Copies of this chain bind each other. A is one copy, B any other.
Amino acid sequence: MTDLSSVLDRADQNLTASLERLFGLVRIRSISTDPAFKDDCRKAAEWLMAELENIGFEASVRDTSGHPMVVGHHPGARTDAPHVLFYGHYDVQPVDPIELWEDDPFDPKVKDLGNGRKIVTGRGVSDDKGQLLTFVEACRAYKDVHGNLPVRVTVLFEGEEESGSPSLKPFLEAHADELKADYALVCDTGMWDADTPAITASLRGLVGEEVIITAANRDLHSGMYGGAAANPIQILSKILGGLHDETGRVTLEGFYDGVEETPSNIKSSWEALGNSRSDFLGEVGLSELAGEKGRSLLELLWARPTCEINGISGGYEGQGFKTVIASKASAKVSCRLVSGQDPEKIRESFRAYVRSKIPADCSVEFLKHGGSPAIQLAYDSPVLTKAKTALTEEWAKPALVVGVGGSIPIVGDFQKMLGMESLLVGFGLSDDRIHSPNEKYDLKSFHKGIRSWARIIEALAK
């Protein structure tokens, strides 16, 4: 028996006790958005500190202006081993509407669905208490066998993720030296499906702009002025209508500068998946891929930039009709960005394009609405490769390298504030009903999640 099999066996033997601990954590009503549960949040933090101490972490609960952080350090067996920062959050979403829950959300249970699937129920069991405990329990099993951990581990558990993480950035800033590691491990994402593990390697960035076009200094009557006076809605429509060419590509100058094609092996793996998780578009009443022609669904969502109009407004929008030529028209536009794109350059290119289309006697105003670059873990990064192998071995099915079409703020913060890349591995499933009544976590996700992390930390140490 290899050392690793001993650890995995130990994880198996621990499972009942691990589950008991998960139950213990889920029972704490750590709803961060509701001040009534302030003490429960602290209780959850203290609970986690105690568990970390149990397995040899030097752990502490750290006050913030909101709910406390839990920080733990474990020196690991070797000083030349990598140093990882594991991130999770102990706070949970509110439980309303409570009447839709089949069981008490804070009285977790294991339920046998009868089709070979067992689930654990309760608020936060998937998001993120069950997920973060997969890592803690992996450390415990490793420690049980080896008396130590193969890598140096810092743990950061947050209690405000469900309420916008107001204390996180100040905390990272104040404790940068303490928290900075070689890379972060984040367990808050999902698998591709119940059998297929996944690593999230890319997150799209975002640049948001609001554009307000003013023509006449007041609304005009279209009978009196129509045909001679500039119509800002018409100008805006022409501008927005020109953002994409016939092939769905964004026409802004320099928009694709720095955008690289996804490696063909990754692209083929996505094409092979097709639409298999579910009828992604069909579920929302659509059937045709919009956007850039000649790209697969998953490539469009994970690896291609977009330019979307999120809102538009102008003139008479009420019931009936008014033959008005509006003074102003406005739109909110955002681009989802991929690796290589600079949000500020794209903002400038958008503004220059819009300005070039504004008649001399009209004016345009821009409002800036956020900008953050995309995150991309290099597809050939050793960390990614090691984790992929570890997951593939555990699940006996090739681990997928996937993307997320939106952003996960913590990953950007780690990148920006601590100069640290993140490896995103999680075991949630799309039917976990996170944020909704009857949240669940597959027992298999919990069990094999623990085993997966044991394999990953072993692999990372090599």
Contact = CB atoms under 8 A, between A and B. Distances in A.
Contacts of A404: 223
B297 A228 contact: yes
Interface string A304-336: 111011111111110011111110010110101
B310 A222 contact: yes
A407 B223 contact: yes
Given A237-B240, A405-B227, A311 B288 contact: no
Given A310-B322, A322-B311, A405-B224, A359 B290 contact: yes
A360 B288 CA distance: 8
Interface residues of A, number: 80
Nearest to A408: B223
Interface of A: 204, 206, 208, 210, 215-218, 220-231, 233-234, 236-244, 280-281, 284-292, 297, 300-301, 304-306, 308-317, 320-326, 329, 331-332, 334, 336, 359-362, 369-370, 404-407
Given A308-B325, A317-B311, A405-B224, A290 B231 contact: yes
A284 B321 contact: no
Nearest to A291: B227
A336 B405 contact: no
Given A206-B323, A334-B222, A360 B405 contact: no
Given A227-B405, A288-B361, 14 more contacts: A204-B223, A208-B321, A226-B306, A226-B405, A236-B312, A237-B243, A286-B361, A287-B360, A310-B321, A310-B326, A311-B316, A312-B317, A321-B332, A322-B332
Given A222-B336, A370-B321, A406-B223, A230 B288 contact: yes
A230 B285 CA distance: 11
8 contacts: A210-B321, A224-B405, A225-B405, A227-B336, A240-B241, A311-B315, A311-B322, A312-B329
Contacts of A227: 290-292, 300-301, 304-306, 336, 405
Nearest to A240: B237
Contacts of A359: 288, 290
Contact of A222 (B236, B306, B325): B306
Given A241-B237, A285-B216, A329-B312, A291 B321 contact: no
A99 to B, nearest CB: 23
Given A227-B291, A228-B281, A243-B234, A369 B321 contact: yes
A291 B220 CA distance: 15
Contacts of A329: 312
Nearest to A304: B227
Contacts of A326: 310-311
A324 B301 contact: no
